Amino acid sequence: MRGIFHCLARFLTNYLQKTKNIYSNNKENKAMNTISKIKALIIGAAIIASAPVAAQAVVIAPPSGASTKGSAKVEVTVPEFIILHYYSSLSLNFATPESEIVNEGSNALNVTWEGRTDGSGLAQGSLKESALELDGGETTVHIPNVWAVRGFAQNGKAKISIEIPNEGGKLVNGTSEIVLSNLKITSEHGTAASVDVPLNGITKSNATVGGIDMDLNFDKTSLSGTHTGGQYTIIASTL
């Protein structure tokens, strides 16, 4: 590029010298004006010729991408708590048995003219069985799915227990009463007055569900209708 520029300058210089000689006679002023214009052209050409070189000289490549990284530790503290779902009231409606007659066979009695009779008759211990019979007046009621628990514990378990509070073991209707006793927790993890069960977290879909068993004694029950006053308490605690 420099060689081309020098050749061009030499050519223009020679051309100017010849032009100056030609116009020296009485045209010096006009020649000088022409020389000035040619000089301007030379300067412009020099600038144009040298522009790419200058541009290349000042171009700076962009820096390559820079990066760094850092790590952070994350801790989450989960509280220990438990959620108990339960029914605050239960109404047990026993099915109405069909009335029936039990034929006890025949009996022969001796009668006096005064109207007195002697001989054996019906006795409690010799009555024939009917369709509805209770073992000693007591029946065990199985009530499934009346409680559920979920939550968090250090070992992921909870203890579910059941008890009868004071005066909660008797249901009455006037002089008739039903005695409530022998309550137990039932679940797939066991049946007892107290059972350890898994909590499985707080989502409802993973809650542990269970039921209860209770004995009802009808020995002192003489009236139909609703008997009230029975109560039980379910206790759920983390382990």
- 37 and 139, same domain (yes or no): no
Is residue 45 included in any domain, yes or no? yes
Q: Residue 164: which residues within 8 A CB-CB, separation 6 or more?
A: 180, 181, 183, 231, 232, 233
Tokens of 2: 């420099």
Is residue 67 included in any domain, yes or no? no
- At residue 21, the pLDDT reads 57
Instruction: Work out the number of other CB atoms within 10 angstroms of the CB of residue 62.
Output: 5
- 139 and 223, same domain (yes or no): yes
Helix (H, G, I), strand (E, B) or coil at 71: coil
89 falls in which pLDDT band (50, 70, 90)?
very high
- 176 and 209, same domain (yes or no): yes
- At residue 130, the pLDDT reads 74
Q: Give CA–CA dist 188/208, Å, rounded.
A: 9
Q: Residue 42: which residues within 8 A CB-CB, separation 6 or more?
A: 8, 9, 12
User: Domains in the chain: how many in total?
Assistant: 2
Per-chain mean pLDDT for the chain: 81
- 86 and 19, same domain (yes or no): no
- 88 and 202, same domain (yes or no): yes
- At residue 207, the pLDDT reads 96
Give the closest residue to 232 by CA, choosing from 81, 86, 84, 85.
86
- 42 and 87, same domain (yes or no): no
Is residue 128 included in any domain, yes or no? no
- 192 and 233, same domain (yes or no): yes
- At residue 205, the pLDDT reads 95
- At residue 55, the pLDDT reads 45
- 85 and 160, same domain (yes or no): yes
Whether the pLDDT of residue 77 is over 90: the answer is yes
Is residue 105 included in any domain, yes or no? no
- At residue 50, the pLDDT reads 57
- At residue 206, the pLDDT reads 95
53 falls in which pLDDT band (50, 70, 90)?
very low
Question: Span 141-166, mean pLDDT?
Answer: 95
Whether the pLDDT of residue 46 is over 90: the answer is no
177-210 per-position pLDDT tens digit: 999 999 999 999 999 999 999 999 999 999 999 9
Question: Span 158-176, mean pLDDT?
Answer: 94
- 47 and 86, same domain (yes or no): no
Total-model pTM = 0.64
Helix (H, G, I), strand (E, B) or coil at 40: helix
Is residue 125 included in any domain, yes or no? no
- 142 and 52, same domain (yes or no): no
- 139 and 231, same domain (yes or no): yes
- 146 and 193, same domain (yes or no): yes
- At residue 218, the pLDDT reads 93
9-44 per-position pLDDT tens digit: 565 566 556 655 554 554 555 555 665 666 665 665
Question: Span 130-150, mean pLDDT?
Answer: 86
Tell me which residue range forms the domain holding 229.
81-92+134-238
Is residue 27 included in any domain, yes or no? yes
Whether the pLDDT of residue 82 is over 90: the answer is yes
Is residue 65 included in any domain, yes or no? no
151 falls in which pLDDT band (50, 70, 90)?
very high
Whether the pLDDT of residue 6 is over 70: the answer is no
Whether the pLDDT of residue 78 is over 60: the answer is yes
Is residue 63 included in any domain, yes or no? no
